[in-house]
Amino acid sequence: MKKKKITVSFEFFPPKNQESIDSLWTNIRRLEPLNPSFISVTYGAGGSTRENTHSLVKEIKNKTSLEPAAHLTCFGTSLNEIEKIADDYWSAGVKHLVALRGDVPKQQNTKKNDFKFATDLIKFLKSKYEFDITVSAYPEMHPDSKTKEQEYDVLKKKIDLGATKAITQFFFNVESYFEFLDGAIKRGINIPIIPGILPVTNCKRTIEFANKMNCKMPNNLAEMFKGLDKDVETRKLVAVTIVYDQCKKLIEGGINDFHFYTLNRADLSFAICHILGIRTLD
């Protein structure tokens, strides 16, 4: 049987200063020859880097061969603001959006809450233009979800409103992803659910974020980083080994599409892609 071609996509976040801008473009150019299916650009917490996101997405569209996918969060944003953003993206030729609710601040500004959920955003965007809409999925349950069934119900509603694919929150337990996938198929959810892959170099910070997001960290993963706090190069080697093992298990289970959370560093994602057989066309 012929092996399925492996496809990848990458996520970046917008830079905040000139040094970060220069570094970001170096990393984008490093990954561009791998011909990813798309490259997504995030918002900061609460939409704090909104303008930077818009600028970067349009620059990627104009200056590279890549398809940008712009993250768009809606909580705390007015309908008029979302409409202007949608108009701007569509006119700039950016037609792939990652539609998200966004973080709910502790002190809410109810005046701007025209959108409470990602489903509200998807419905509005699809009423405006025929965007290609990607959404989030949570194999180990979103912190706000009370049951696994609720997780599937929300995802199904996103699809019914027009979402065409989903990217998962990062995970390390491959079985949790496959269990989530099986449950989705049983419920008639048949869009691609792309595994979100996070190469870990800062183990302490990753554990903190994983705890907030209900992501289970295997004990042996933390063990692998012990004693390497000041050894950046060895941490990178360990990270590549962990992610390759994760991807290998996913491929053996029939998965051939991966989304890498790059944290604006191309080296680890590039190395992993090379090992997986995704090479530059020199």
Encode 257-281: b = buried (16+ Cβ within 10 Å), e = exposed.
Answer: bbbbbbbbbbbbbbbbbeebebeee
Q: How far apart are CA 185 and CA 154, in angstroms?
A: 14
Helices 148-160 and 118-128, interaxial angle, to 10°?
A: 10
Name every residue whose Cβ is closer than 8 Å to that of residue 135 and which is 6 or more positions away in sequence: 98, 99, 100, 118, 122, 155, 158, 163, 165, 166, 167
Calculate the CA 229 to chain-centre distance: 27
Q: How far apart are CA 71 and CA 73, in angstroms?
A: 7
Q: How far apart are CA 11 and CA 258, in angstroms?
A: 11
Q: Which residues are catalytically annotated?
A: 11
DSSP β-ladder status, 39-41 and 7-12: parallel
8 A C-beta contact, residue 176 and residue 148? no
26: left (phi over 0), alpha (psi -120 to 50) or beta: alpha
Give the three-class secondary structure for 7. strand
